[in-house]
């Protein structure tokens, strides 16, 4: 895995993405694909009961979708944990320690983000919870409006829950120059975690975690991203649910 170069200094703002740096390297990321992101493999009736499921503790995942460890592999998962019929994407969590954590999904590490979300929780707190509990279920809920043809992942705002606990909100936004610079610096990293040093002591180091995710489309109002660990190794489990109700 290639070690990414350090980030250039940024101005001392509480939220780094509000005042992006001018990139010192060219952005060579490619446009994301517009193909359909995998078949609908979840029964539509499961969606109707989804809200009550993800708010309960613990949140139970069907056996066919438990990806880590041989005892949790169902008939829909291959030997590497990949769900049959799901679309493989690259997911990256990143942010400065005290700034809000950002979640980006890409077709692959060399493409522009197809979705970028900002969660109302500090990066350090989110990473700490993921590392300590080893099991995070992030549920993002938005209101379904009559005659609204907005695609699910293009919804601008969500109510966010982590393991059934409300954390406020999540917002979809266009990538800033600083976001694109992070993606460019990590373009050779397929999976892993670390920090990108920053010369500005106010912002400090930028933490990132990158992994493969399986994207499962349940209906036009529900999608799920399952994080995959390399080689089936045990490690943090992260599942991100999107639902419109």
3-state secondary structure 93-149: EEEECCCEEEEEEECCCCECEEEEEEEEEEHHHHHHHHHHHCEEEEEEEECCCCCCC
Band of residue 232 on the pLDDT scale cut at 50, 70, 90: low
Residue 43's DSSP bridge partners are: none
pLDDT digits 0-9 by tens, 92-110: 999 998 899 999 999 999 9
pLDDT digits 0-9 by tens, 109-155: 999 999 999 999 999 999 888 888 778 999 999 999 888 899 999 99
Q: How many CA atoms lie within 13 A of 44 on its CB side?
A: 3
Contacts of 35 by beta carbon, 8 Å cutoff, 6+ apart = none
Q: Label residue 76 exposed, middle or buried (CB < 10 Å: 0-12, 13-18, 19+).
A: middle
Whether the per-residue pLDDT at 204 is higher than 60: the answer is yes
Band of residue 8 on the pLDDT scale cut at 50, 70, 90: low
**What's the pLDDT at 133?**
75
3-state secondary structure 75-103: CCECCCCCECCCEEEEEEEEEECCCEEEE
| Range in 63-72, 165-174, 192-201, 235-244 the model is least confident about | 63-72
For the chain, percent of residues with pLDDT exceeding 90: 48
Average pLDDT over residues 21-45: 59
Whether the per-residue pLDDT at 39 is higher than 90: the answer is no
- Residues 208/16, Cβ–Cβ less than 8 Å: no
How does the average pLDDT of the chain come out, rounded?
Answer: 76
Residue 243's DSSP bridge partners are: 141, 222
Q: Which residue has the higher pLDDT, 90 or 201?
A: 90
Whether the per-residue pLDDT at 209 is higher than 60: the answer is yes
Average pLDDT over residues 46-50: 35
**What's the pLDDT at 131?**
82
């Amino acid at each position: 895995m290639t070690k990414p170069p350090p980030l250039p200094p940024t101005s001392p703002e509480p939220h780094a993405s509000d005042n992006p740096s001018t990139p010192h390297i060219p952005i060579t990321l490619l446009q994301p694909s517009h193909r359909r992101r995998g078949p609908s493999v979840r029964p539509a009736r499961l969606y109707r009961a989804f809200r009550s499921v993800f708010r309960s503790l613990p949140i139970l995942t069907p056996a066919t979708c438990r990806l880590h460890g041989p005892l949790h592999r169902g008939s829909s998962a291959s030997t590497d944990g990949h769900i049959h019929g799901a679309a493989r994407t690259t997911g990256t969590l990143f942010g400065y320690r005290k700034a809000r954590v950002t979640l980006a999904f890409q077709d692959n590490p060399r493409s522009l983000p197809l979705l970028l979300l900002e969660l109302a929780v500090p990066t350090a707190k989110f990473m700490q919870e993921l590392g300590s509990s080893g099991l995070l279920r992030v549920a993002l809920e938005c209101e379904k409006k009559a005659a609204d043809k907005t695609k699910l992942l293009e919804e601008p705002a969500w109510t966010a829950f982590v393991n059934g606990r409300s954390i406020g909100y999540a917002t979809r936004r266009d990538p800033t120059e600083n976001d694109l610079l992070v993606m460019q610096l990590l373009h050779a990293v397929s999976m892993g975690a670390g920090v990108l040093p920053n010369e500005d002591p106010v912002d400090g180091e930028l933490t990132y975690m990158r992994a493969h995710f399986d994207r499962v489309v349940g209906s036009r109002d529900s999608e799920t991203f399952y994080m995959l660990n390399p080689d089936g190794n045990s490690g943090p489990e992260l599942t991100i649910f999107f639902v419109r109700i």
